[in-house]
Structure 1
Amino acid sequence: MASAKLTSKGRITIPADVRAALALEAGSRVEFIETGKGQFALIAATGEVHSLKGMLKEPAEPASIEDMNQAIAAARARRSWI
């Protein structure tokens, strides 16, 4: 089992065998997914934005500028910090 030590600045070095298994290189991004209380999984965030194409259905009819402005105004009314 691979392990790593946390520095005083909150940094860790991912062991070489783990980097190789996840195909991580300098500049790669990783995500920490909570799998249970006090347990996390480390996964490579290597997906391309193009892989998201087609995940959402197209609306029956496009939203008008007026509809978008109303939605923005309604969101602002719900959240005073926007």
Structure 2
Amino acid sequence: MELAKVTSKGQITIPLMIRNKLQLKAGDKVFFEESSGKVYITNASQITLANVQAQMKGEAKKAGFETEDDVVAYIKELRKSR
């Protein structure tokens, strides 16, 4: 458990151990979520990535890609045509 002090402007310094665990860097955004009286903090980019992955699930198969090699071959063809 880590402790942080709230400034008069409502700011806190996220402890180094927590920043490292969340892979936060200067300028990153964080997401706060309240659930059952507790507040959770998450790296916003991780939430965005998870949402995109969920939305894209199954799209490769729909496009006819079965393996990673299929994707690589498709990219090579696109590059040739440019």
Query: Identity of aligned pairs, percent?
Result: 37
Residue 12 of structure 1 corresponds to which residue in structure 2?
12
Gaps of 5+ in 1: 56-82
Indicate how the Cα distance of structure 1 residues 28 and 36 shifts in structure 2: closer, same or farther if over 3 A, else same. same
Q: How many residue pairs align between the two structures?
A: 54
**TM-score, structure 2 as length reference:** 0.56
The root-mean-square deviation of aligned C-alpha atoms, in Å, is: 1.9
CA distance in 2, matches of 1:4, 1:36: 22
Gaps of 5+ in 2: 58-82
Q: Which runs of 4+ in 1 moved over 6 A?
A: none
Residue 41 of structure 1 corresponds to which residue in structure 2?
40
Q: How far is 1:12 from its partner?
A: 0.3
**TM-score, structure 1 as length reference:** 0.56
